[in-house]
Each structure stands twice: as C-alpha cells, then as structure tokens.
Structure 1
C-alpha cells in the first residue's frame, strides 16, 4: 500500500474524512447523511484514505471516473494483488463472479446474456405483472392501515414489491420472495465498506444458500424451459462460445441482489420525501403525467446506492492529484447528487425540476442493466400510491441497517397524514374510491 500513497496529499484531511465516514455509518448520520457529505465536499475533490485509496465526494470527479473505460472495478484479479486473505469469504468470492465486479471481456459476456430481457421494449411484456404486484402490495398496505391505523411500509411494500417483480422477470417462484429477500439482505452486507465479522459471516451463509437455490433453479430450467430470463441465461451458458460454466447463476444473482436492494431503497425513500414536501405531493397527485420526472428527482435527491468503487487501470490523476495504477477510489454517489456545482439548489427536492445529470444508475460500461425496469417499477408504484392511498407520514424515524453503500431501511412505520385539511378531504375521496375498487376485485465490500 505504501506505493499507492506516493504523491497523495497528507494527513489532516485523511483523519477528518475517516471521522466523517464513521458518522455516516450509524446514528444521525445514517438517518441524514447529506450534511456530512457537504463537510466531505468541503475537504476537497479527492480525499486520501489510510488504506491508500481516495474518496470522491463531488459530481464532476465521480462522473468523470464512472464514465471512463480506463477505470476498472475491484475484480478478483485486483483483490488478489491488494487484499490478502479475501478468498476466505464465500460471499466476497461470489461477488467477483458477477458482472458488477468483472471487467471486459467477461463483463461484456455477462451483460449481453441478459440485455435482451431488459430493454424497454421487452419490459413492456412485464408491465402487467408489475401493475398486478403493485396493486397487491397496496392492498396489503391499505388493509393494515384500516385495521391497525399504521403499517410497516418496508415489509408490506418496499421489500415485497421489487422481489416479486424480480422473481417474475428471472423465472423464480414468487412464493419464495420472503426467503429470497432475507438472503439478499444478508448477502449484500459484504458489499459495504468494511463489513463487520458478524456481517461477513451472515453474508457467507447467505451466499451459500442462495447459490444452492440458484443452482437448483437452473437445473429445473434445463429440464423444462420457460419464457423467462433464467431459461435464456441457461441457453447462453450451455450454447455460448465462451466457457462460462457459472454464467447463468452469476447473472441471475447479480440481477436479484442489485435490483432488490436499490429498488427497495428507492421505494422506501418516497414516503418521507413526500411527507416532508406535502405541497409538492399534492401537486403531483393532480399531475400524474409528471410522475416520470418526479421519479428522476427522487432518485437524485435521495439515491438508494450511495457509494460505488473503481480502480485506476493506469497511472492517472484526479483534481491534480497523482493516482497510481491500482489505486482504489470510492465514489460517493449520495454526495455527488447533492453537489450544487452540478445541480442548482441541490439540497432542495423539486418534483417539477427538469431531469438533471444524475448518477443514480451509474454511467459508462457499468451503467445499471436494470435501470429501465427500476424506472418503470418506480413510476407505476408512485402513480398508484398517489391514486389509491391516503397521504402517508412516518410515525417514527425509519430503522436502517448500519453501513454506507445502500440507503435502505429495515422498518418504516407509516400512518395516514391528516394534518393538512385539504389533504384530508382528498384522502377521504381516495379511500372511498379504494373501497369501490376492493368490492370489484377478486381477492412476491469491499
């Protein structure tokens, strides 16, 4: 690591940055990281870390790195050179087999195997299933609100909905969504910055169980093909020109894991955002055609993925700082999205804002393969939420797991928000419509 520090500026910034990172992981900083991000941006565009890397808190630097093909991901090859003993963790090894931690040409093969099912045109075939699952989750949410006066938004919607849709896409039983979302949550702990030993153990256990589950599903598709992504992945693996014996499992797992945590975080963030901006929520109810733009603004203002990582593929520089080949950089996406140098009045949520330059789904070679699905799901859900449910507000601060990478929640207790008289009248009208609808219907590290 000593050679990686050559040319990097020295210490006070480094110590200050580590203190801020600690504050991000837990407590008030976990609930609202954005003031801490502002402090990090104040330390400079590229902040050295004790382990020889760099933190990038600004939009310009994050955007430049993430779009540049000369920047690589922290692959198995890089880890073998820079991270002693990393192969002792099953989850860490499994992560490097998926496209998120593969460089070309392997990354290209994995991506091409799934692209056909994730184009906007192909996803239109999935839209009826998305609408059906959105409706089912809102049924559960409204039932809980009517019966108990409150509901856990994460359990009823934010966790359940994306997993049900991903099961439909991949070709897994929707009935398994509770099992899968638990495994995915534990598995993703290894993707955080410096997971604890307990998190690493849970991640390894989840990786083993999830790997066995996927292998069984793949064998079922070999015996009986279906019109789903898993069948196409099996065909690509068995009949492809490249020797990729784990391609189907690796690609399906990446889509399941990446899609669940990011979309769950996105849906969870909608409730406090709308509750804290009741005037804008009321305007959006009256202008459903503006929902796609509102989804983009919500993704910018409180992105579900807060951090990602790249490795310098050659000697280069950032903001005038020499960066030797092999240096690990941490792109603070959550901070970059609030950088006023890139977005005017960046700390203000404005659902009428024209879509701005954003990094919520990444950019460049690793641009999120499921971005179109996430946007479609977010748009369908937000439209239905505004139409079918009363205005909601958190009854208590959300519970969040420790960590920096994902902006997720494990529990969000919500109640109807009757504090605004106009919204209350609007709410009563929506509840009347809801009852009519119900009577007319038949009752898924680094």
Structure 2
C-alpha cells in the first residue's frame, strides 16, 4: 500500500496535486494525478484537513461500516455559520435521503420504496420508447453533419424517464435539468463562493417547485409516486405539514439522483464506445456483454469521483489518527484504478467483472441504481443496433468540477 509520510509533508504534496486536479487539463484526465496520489499511500492527509482514501478495499469497508456516517444536518450545524456547510443549499440537501443517518435514514428509505423488478419492468417500456425517439432525432441531426450526443440524448433520457414517472409536465423538464446542474455545486468537493451562490439560487427554485407539486398532488391524488408517498407519510406522520415536507424531500432527492449522474454515465459510456471502434464491433456482435460494458464504464470513469464520510468515534486509518466527526474523502475515481483490486486498471475491458463503488455501498447504496442501469443498457443496445458506427469529432469539454463529472458536449459524426 506504500508508506505514509508525515502529515505536513503529505498535505503539501496533496495540495499540489489538487491544484492540478482543478485545472481544465486535470478535469479532462484526472487519472494520472490520482495515480500520483495513490503512490503516496492508501490514506493521506487532505490539504484542508481530514483524510483522502484511495485504497479500494478500505473505501469499500468505510462505505459499509456503521462507524462512518454521512455529514448530516447535525454535523453541518457544528461546523459553524461561516463555512460552506452553512449555505442554504447545503442545509437543504442535508435533509434528503442520501445525507441522513439511522434511524431517520431507515424510516425515510422505507417510505421511499424501491425500484423493484415490477417497477423497473414498467418503466422499461417507457425507456425503450424514449430511447427510440431520441435516437431517431439524433440520427436526423447526423444527416446534417455532426451532432451533440450529450445534449440530444445523454441529457434528455434521464429527465424524460424520471419526468414521466413522477408525472412532471414536459414543459418543465428543461428548466429542472438546468437547476440540477447548478445545485450540484453544493455537493462538490471544493466549491467556491460563486458556485455555492448558484447552488443556493437553484435550490430555492427547486424547493418552490416541488412544494407546490406536493400541494397539487394532495388536492388531486392519483396513481403516481408522489401521491403514493403522500399516502405513506400520512400514515406515518400525523402533522400534515411535516408529511408534505417529507414528500417534498423525497421528490427532490429522486429528481437530483436520477438526472446528473445518469446523464454523465450515458455520455461517458458512449464516449468509450466511439473512442474505440473495436468496442463498437464487440458490443454489436456480443449484445450479451452490454451489462458488463455499463459496469466497466462505472468503474473506469464513474459519474461521481468522491464520496465523503465522517467518523462516528475516534479511530485510526492506516496509522493516522481520526477524531470523532473528522471527515474522510473516499477518492472513488482513484480507488477504481487501484492495481491491488483490478489488473491493468487503466485499460477499459468490457470482459472484466468490474467491481466498483459508483453507487456507494452499505445502507446508502444508491436507490436508483436499477434505473440508471436500465437506461444505460437500453441506450447501448439500441445505439449499436440502430445506428451505423459513429466517430468522435472533438474531445468533449468537462464541467469545472472535481467530484461530479459532467461532459459539456459529445460531438459525433458518422464514421
């Protein structure tokens, strides 16, 4: 696993690496920087305090352990009024399902239900139709020359899928997608003041939107998830205002979880497909490898590169002291390239059984993982079946982020 240097030495080295990681070049290809970080050991001090973890197995154990908690509302309040954790968007996101700890997490997750086999089969029929329509429009655009796959397909499929499932008006989809892009900065590793301000504005608008949606559904209950959540919470919570607030946070969470990371997965998967013609030929001839191709994409370049946890009690990690409430950042993007876990980790291999942490782990394993897989597999199957082989026109630009990956464009043309 390598040696662990003195904290001060490691912090200076990590600061240099993160300075490079935040450049356009670093965001385009962070993996050489991650390799340098891994070379300093599986656990190193972060420049701003806390620890960085790059060892795959250790990241996995932390995600599954009850000794490591989400930085929830209680933790954020303890950080003080002039920190990023006190921003309105940070306080709001701390009340959604992924940021809760037991016992509240257990209660809310039970109320949320799950994307079980029956639900996925039902949604699957809709996804098939949406993908067919989107690829039809994309194909028409290709006849005029190049077309942006990220804008025309990757960004459209998740909002159309979740928007249809939640019963959101189609006219609202584009705005909700834009708001999701802005709010994610409050969940970033190192957001600056202007990014947090954008998050605050977006979150306020999202709150107004979904609060009104819950009120409208309460007035006119129907067969949709929001109405079912209202009925569920009414049986759990006698205070109607508190019940409606709980439903709001569930609806908000589902939208945020369904859009940003899934859109990145779809575009990243397609980039891998067109970047290597042998991949296109392989999947076209071996459709049974489609699930494995999706999983390898999630390992090779996951939509989220960082997951943060805080210690429930004093402990040590690889000989470094960790105090109760200290934060560790699990560098998932780096851990996925850990050579102790994966042979030849920098090679994209659709044949490998790709163990990954893209959907987190333990009690916080992603509720929407089956839906993300459904969308990705459906898109990949139709893409190689319906369209001739495509070629990459130019390298995509990346959004200015460290934790949440996003391709700003994916310009393709007929090969």
Q: Same fold (TM over 0.5)?
A: yes
Q: Match of 2:40?
A: 43
Encode CA deviations 1:98-133: one digit per residue, 9 max, x unaligned. Answer: 0121111111122112224x1233211111111111
What pairs up with 1:303-342 in 2 under 5 angstroms?
Answer: 303-342=302-341
CA distance in 2, matches of 1:142, 1:175: 24
Name the stretch that deviates more: 280-289 or 167-176.
Answer: 167-176
Q: 168-177 or 47-56, which moves further after superposition? A: 168-177
> Unpaired runs of 5+ in structure 1?
1-6, 418-446
Contact 1:8–1:321 (Cα < 8 Å) also in 2: no
TM-score (ref. length: structure 1):
0.88
Q: Distance in 1 between matches of 2:93 and 2:414?
A: 40
Q: Give me the whole-angstrom Cα distance separating, in 2, the residues matched to 1:8 and 1:322.
A: 13
Picking from 48, 51, 54, the partner of 2:51 is 54
Using the size of structure 2 for normalisation, the TM-score is 0.94
Q: Residue 126 of structure 1: SS of its match in structure 2?
A: helix
Q: Does 1:185 align with 2:181?
A: yes
1:204 to 200, 206, 209: 200
Secondary structure in 2 matching 1:11: helix
Deviation at 1:295, TM superposition (A): 0.9
Distance in 1 between residues matched to 2:20 and 2:232, nearest whole Å: 45
- Partner deviation per Cα, 1:246-289 (whole Å, 9 max, x = no partner): 21111111111122111011011022211232112201101112
Corresponding residue number in structure 2 for 1:138:
135
Match of 2:101, SS state, is: coil
Structure 1 pair 46/130, CA: closer, same or farther in 2 (3 Å)? same
Structure 2 residue matching 1:168: 3-state secondary structure? helix
Could you tell me how far apart the structure 1 residues matched to 2:343 and 2:80 are? 40
Measured against aligned partners, the alpha-carbon deviations of 1:279-307 in whole angstroms (never above 9, x if no partner) come to 12201101112211111111111111111
Query: RMSD over aligned Cα, in angstroms?
Result: 1.7
Q: Offset of 1:26 from its aligned partner?
A: 2.5
Q: Give the length in aligned residue pairs.
A: 408
Q: How does 1:275-290 map to 2 (within 5 A)?
A: 275-290=274-289
Matches within 5 A, 1:286-297: 286-297=285-296
Aligned partners of 1:169 and 1:229 also within 8 Å: yes
Gaps in structure 2 of 5+ consecutive residues: none
Aligned equivalents of 1:187, 1:242: Cα separation in 2? 31
Name 2:21's counterpart in structure 1. Answer: 24
Partner of 2:307, secondary structure, is: strand
Q: Which residue is 1:170 aligned to? A: 166
Contact 1:38 1:335 in 2 (8 A): yes
Distance in 2 between residues matched to 1:222 and 1:396, nearest whole Å: 48
Equivalents in 2 of 1:372, 1:92: separation in Å? 27
Question: Is the contact made by 1:271 and 1:394 (CA closer than 8 Å) also made in structure 2?
Answer: no
